[in-house]
Amino acid sequence: MEKLRFFVVSDSVGETGDLAVKAVVSQFRPHFEQVEIRRFPHIHEQDHLLQIISIAKKQDAIIIYTLVEKELRAALHDLGVKHNVAVIDLLGPMLDLLESKIKQKPLELPGIVHQLDEYYFEKIEAVEFAVKYDDGRDPRGILLADIVLVGVSRTSKTPLSQYLAHKRYKVANVPLVPEVDPPAELFMVDPKKCFGLVISPGQLNNIRKERLIALGLGEGATYAQHDRIEEEIAHFYQVVEKVGCEVIDVTNKAVEETANCIIDRIEQEKML
């Protein structure tokens, strides 16, 4: 059986070309017997192309390339013709077609798809983190988080955590009630990444009444009474003063507004 050799030449890691070769070869040799696939990643110089062509000619290898730079693609094609080496351009035809169709030049930046993948997985990780450490379920998350939110019930801690998670921030949130001591981890965290959320007693009263009604409970429950709300807010201020964190008034603020305020503070801190 003749041995098949493939060289995958890429200006990134070569994963796309590698997968394409395997998809095609599997139609002829499902168990990849007598098949060799060799990657040449991060190729950006024409001198490197000449070296690869020389090796491919000696080993009778087929070159598959995924190069986004037009000059490199053209150079490898010409070298293949000149030295009688089989070369196959995977990206070029589609890049040229789209450029012609939408009248827009490609960025020609290698590895963008992998950067997007990394962004996606960071977001998923942050969302899972926010769910795991929501509502003080596990105080260990406080020390692992990028951002820690503290506040009384119904100050938008959970939706704010999820919104920030979609911006790739790992967020833990901690509810504060007078009858329960805050977790010790809250007082160990860097106060610059901790934010207290407060709301006007009147608005909180309305929100809690609506919540009780939605649950099928009477709106006169202690949870929504003004005295109870004042007690919780007083306790909140005692805790955040001890933590030393910034307090944000979320009264009449959309989640996006509060999130942008927090992101600005966090990013400014990184620059210091």
Binding residues for ADP: 151-158
Cα 51 to Cα 36: distance, rounded to the nearest angstrom: 19
- Render 144-173 in DSSP notation, one character per residue: H-SEEEEESTTSSHHHHHHHHHTTT--EEE
Distance set, CA 70 to CA 12, 44, 77, 97, 103 (Å): 15, 11, 11, 13, 16
The partner residues of 95 in beta bridges, in order of sequence, read none
Provide the greatest CA pair distance for the chain: 87
HEC sequence for 213-263: HHCCCCCCCHHHCHHHHHHHHHHHHHHHHHHCCEEEECCCCCHHHHHHHHH
Cα 151 to Cα 161: distance, rounded to the nearest angstrom: 12
Residue 194 backbone phi and psi in degrees, to 5 = -110, 140
Residue 60 backbone phi and psi in degrees, to 5 = 55, 45
Helix 70-82 / helix 92-102 crossing angle, nearest 10 deg: 140
